Chains A and B, each alone.
Chain A
Amino acid sequence: HALMIVFLISTLVLYIIVAMVSTKLTNKYILDSQEIEIIWTVLPAIILILIALPSLRILYLMDEINNPLLTIKAVGHQWYWSYEYTDYEDLGFDAYMIPTQNLVPGQFRLLEADHRMVIPVESPIRVLVSADDVLHSWAVPALGIKMDAVPGRLNQTAFIASRPGVFY
């Protein structure tokens, strides 16, 4: 569907360009059109405001309390992640990426890690992301999360995994 719309729009634009370039008309310079300029400046501004206000509301709604059952700290280093589960006991481990030459056939290049971060299913989880040396970013696209890891700063993100599996 998206490709159809792309073709539609590009055909329309190409047609308009060709029509503008190859016109036989000679009066091409119309100056001074205050009324329509005002209309097509103010109307999009109003539309954008109508879009922006609910969007900001949703943005702040997303930060509301979700009572996480588990808190995990993900700290970024050059070049591995270290995870700390400190709610009940002190548990911490490093997770390195498996280099391409050590992969078993069938594993995903640049995605596999030697120790995975394990989380309980169907539970709200809070992840506190930070970094040890330089800026990193902690992301799991399959869960729709990304949070920048800034040294000296704790960033929080929360999510619920609705089904069991391995998420990359």
Chain B
Amino acid sequence: MLHLIAARMGSLMARRAAVALTTSSARMASHGREVSETVDMSRPMYWDRLDTPLPDKAYKDELTAADKSLKQKEKGPWSQLTNEEKIALYRLMFNQTYPEMKQPRSEWKTIVGGIFIFMGFTGLVVWWQSLYVYPPRPRTFDDEWQAKQLQRILDMRMNPIEGFSSKWDYEKGQWK
């Protein structure tokens, strides 16, 4: 939004508008107080990222004399640059080439390995708990108790229309 206003009003007006549209400094200054301007002091950074190409600054900042002469040569017609010079110029501007950026790394192996280690440890903890922490099973889990419960459910005709007892064939004495 701000840059649209700047484009319309020209640079001088834009600076004033930019200052006026900043929040606290505008309000404080109107009360006659000294206020420091909020200034963007960030410096351009270099990054190697596939999804945001063309970083804000070149990779190599301090140019040697050879680099500077190469840069001078770059200002002429490019057909006169040899292949090695072109590669050298690229390496001045950028750290990695696209194939180098896309190279597969093996950090996933570490991550997956760590995950499995923690899952295994959890399994150990669970097994130890089932041995030493849980109380003994109630006697209602024994097979004959469960069989008697099942027989009682069918005798009581629980859920006979769509549920449990509807799956039992009472004439034949077996599941449907």
A-side interface size class: 10 to 19
CB pair B145 A165 closer than 8 Å? no
What residues of chain B have their CB less than 8 Å away from a CB belonging to chain A? 50-51, 53, 138-140, 144-145, 148-149, 151-152, 156-160
What residues of chain A have their CB less than 8 Å away from a CB belonging to chain B? 26-29, 100, 103, 105-109, 142, 163, 165-166
In Å, the complex CA distance between A120 and B53 comes to 79
Q: Contacts A100-B138, A106-B152, A165-B157 hold; do A27 and B51 have CB atoms under 8 A apart?
A: yes
Query: Of A27, A106, A163, A166, which one neighbours B148 at CB under 8 angstroms?
Result: A106
CB pair B138 A142 closer than 8 Å? no
In Å, the complex CA distance between A152 and B107 comes to 62
Counting chain B CB atoms within 10 Å of each CB, which of A26, A106, A108, A142 scores highest?
A: A106
CB pair B140 A26 closer than 8 Å? no
Q: Contacts A103-B140, A106-B151, A109-B140 hold; do A28 and B51 have CB atoms under 8 A apart?
A: yes
A-B interface contact total, Cβ < 8 Å = 32
In Å, the complex CA distance between A69 and B53 comes to 79
4 closest Cβ contacts across the A-B interface? A106-B148, A109-B140, A106-B152, A26-B51
In Å, the complex CA distance between A166 and B149 comes to 14
In Å, the complex CA distance between A150 and B115 comes to 47
In Å, the complex CA distance between A109 and B148 comes to 13
The residue of chain B having its C-beta at the shortest distance from the C-beta of A104 within the complex is: B148
Counting chain A CB atoms within 10 Å of each CB, which of B50, B140, B145, B156 scores highest?
A: B140
Expressed in whole angstroms, the minimum distance between the Cβ of B153 and any Cβ of chain A is 9
In Å, the complex CA distance between A54 and B148 comes to 46
In Å, the complex CA distance between A76 and B152 comes to 28
In Å, the complex CA distance between A100 and B142 comes to 13
